[in-house]
Structure 1
Amino acid sequence: MAHTPPLHTCPIELRQIETNGIRANVAVAGSGPAIVLLHGFPHTWRLWSEIIGPLSEHYRIIAPDLRGFGATTRASDGYDAGALAADIAGILDALGEPTAAVVAIDAGTPVAVLLALRHPDRIRRLVVMEALLGRLPGAEDFLAAGPPWWFGFHAVPGLAETVLLGHEARYIEWFLTTGTRGRGVRADIHDAFIDAYTGEDALRCAFSYYRALPTSAHQLDLAVAANRLTTPTLAIGAHPVGDALERQLRPITDDLVGQVIPDCGHIIPLDRPHELLDLMMPFLAAERPA
């Protein structure tokens, strides 16, 4: 399937940054106030390929491969939201950034929210997409028929990586196709994602996020019990999550805007990058010095 060319290209530097016991592969571009971009499954930093360029005209973009993903260390543990938030804080420290806005999707979203709850002085703005936040109220309608089928499959220790070994491409392609409502993603990004999730250890790391979900949920419960989310937050939904994330955030967040992008799959930054930027840019610019 043909795809439109990237919105805007820019020089991107890949840096290896030591943080919290791992070496993170981090894409860095542009200059200005820092924005951290946190991907989910089954992505790498290249999930943001369509929007890094436009954002880099005004901001310093920091887009890591999360722990265990892409070219970042395939650690044996540390896949709960708390450890991942510490990874990101360490990246900001290493890059000399005392504060940042954070944009996150899918598995990156609990990390971003926990980071803002634990370090409200460091996170200027939050943009969160297409995810659920542990056991927080608000997602009952979305979960009425139970969580998505792959949550249980991925959660069983050792099962999914054994079953899928040798079939990684077909499995990841299902998520890329479904996550764009059949439109697919650019060939170069498609190939990069397949490569990143090929091999038993790569799969183990990916599924470790699901196996750590109970721990992450407990961490969010404790953080929400102790603090409100004071960071200005934009919650963006698409298909299938819709407004469930917004409804989870509404009772705990002081300053929240919710939006749902129509006819958009789960992988918003690749499926509807123009629409995403139309929502993000004014929200982020509201805190940028004139």
Structure 2
Amino acid sequence: MTANVALAGAGPAVVLLHGFPHTWRVWSEIIGPLAAHHRVIAPDLRGFGASSRAPDGYDAGTLATDIAGILDALGESTASVVAIDAGTPVAVLLALRHPARIRRLVVMEALLGTLPGAEDFLAAGPPWWFGFHAVPGLAETVLIGQEARYIDWFLTTGTRGRGVRPDLRDAFLAAYTGTDALRCAFSYYRALPASARQLEQAAVARLTVPALAIGAHPVGDALERQLRPLADDLTAHVIPDCGHIIPLDRPRELLGLLMPFLAAGDRRATS
């Protein structure tokens, strides 16, 4: 697999993992401030954006292996990892399987498979698109020619109606247009049962790295409640009046949480 990776800055490495329907550009408001003190590594996940459209391997375990490989290729033995949405199970598995490589973990607006704690959030069932995306071949067939309307719904809903910059909207739309691009995106959802099993198996170990869980609308504190039983050192915040796409909807508030948390890990690493 060939990965497209955006790089900026110098210093302790920080990996930024996006979700759906994003690319690395979901971190556009975050990369500059982080790059003042860190080497920022922002890949397009397997099959997304400009990374190669792999036929399989969309389970969280394989994606975590991809990220470890990117760190190896860039000569980074350790890194902090920041993830949202589809990137969150990947980041958590990476931290559970390779705790010596992860300095700090920041995760937001996602659920971790079937781990306990999200029962209230799931009381009425998972979000409707999970089932739609999970049926092999269905969503990409139905949505061909309608990609703009579909992606716009997620971008608008994910910012509570505020929307995203036109250049970012165009970049996301381009990344999710066409049958193969959609197939790759929906393959993540089709691999969710495998990812859930991987998380259950890995969660027998403790999450020993310092972790920060950030919620907004709609996930709120559900991710925190899933992490709390297995995390040794967990801090949690819910950002008010913030949509699902936190890095674009409330970047200033996110940076206010992110930068001191990452800096604390950098000080420990160099002391």
TM-score of the two chains, using structure 2 as the length reference: 0.98
Which letter does structure 1 place at the counterpart of 2:76? E
The 3-state SS of whatever aligns with 1:287 is helix
Partner of 1:130: 109
Partner of 2:232: 254
Residue 264 in structure 1 maps to residue 242 in structure 2? yes
Match of 1:239 among 210, 213, 217: 217
Residue 25 in structure 1 maps to residue 8 in structure 2? no
Give per-residue Cα distances to partners, 1:49-86, cap 9 Å, x unaligned: 00100000000000000000000010000000000000
By relative contact order (CA 8 Å, sep 6+), the higher-ranking structure is 2
Match of 1:38 among 10, 17, 21: 17
For 1:116-265, list aligned pairs within 5 A: 116-225=95-204, 227-265=205-243
- The separation in 2 between residues aligned to 1:236 and 1:55, in whole angstroms, is 17
- Larger helix proportion of the pair: 2
Tell me the C-alpha RMSD between the 2 structures. Answer: 0.6
How far is the alpha carbon of 1:116 from its aligned partner? 0.3
Which letter does structure 2 place at the counterpart of 1:182? G
Unaligned residue ranges in structure 1 (runs of 5+): 1-21
Which letter does structure 2 place at the counterpart of 1:95? L
Give per-residue Cα distances to partners, 1:93-148, cap 9 Å, x unaligned: 00000000000000000000000000000000000000000000000000000000
- The separation in 1 between residues aligned to 2:248 and 2:37, in whole angstroms, is 21
- The separation in 1 between residues aligned to 2:185 and 2:242, in whole angstroms, is 24
After TM superposition, which residue ranges in structure 1, 4 or more long, deviate above 3 angstroms? none
Residue 69 in structure 1 maps to residue 69 in structure 2? no
How far is the alpha carbon of 1:212 from its aligned partner? 0.1
How many residues are paired up? Answer: 268
Give per-residue Cα distances to partners, 1:3-38, cap 9 Å, x unaligned: xxxxxxxxxxxxxxxxxxx00000000000000000
The 3-state SS of whatever aligns with 1:270 is helix
Unaligned residue ranges in structure 2 (runs of 5+): none
The 3-state SS of whatever aligns with 2:118 is coil
The 3-state SS of whatever aligns with 2:265 is coil
Match of 1:278 among 256, 265, 271: 256
Give per-residue Cα distances to partners, 1:197-231, cap 9 Å, x unaligned: 00000000000000000000000000012x11001
The 3-state SS of whatever aligns with 2:160 is coil
Residue 105 in structure 1 maps to residue 67 in structure 2? no
The 3-state SS of whatever aligns with 1:288 is helix
TM-score of the two chains, using structure 1 as the length reference: 0.92
How far is the alpha carbon of 1:287 from its aligned partner? 1.5
- The separation in 2 between residues aligned to 1:178 and 1:212, in whole angstroms, is 24
Identical residues among aligned pairs (%): 82
How far is the alpha carbon of 1:288 from its aligned partner? 1.5
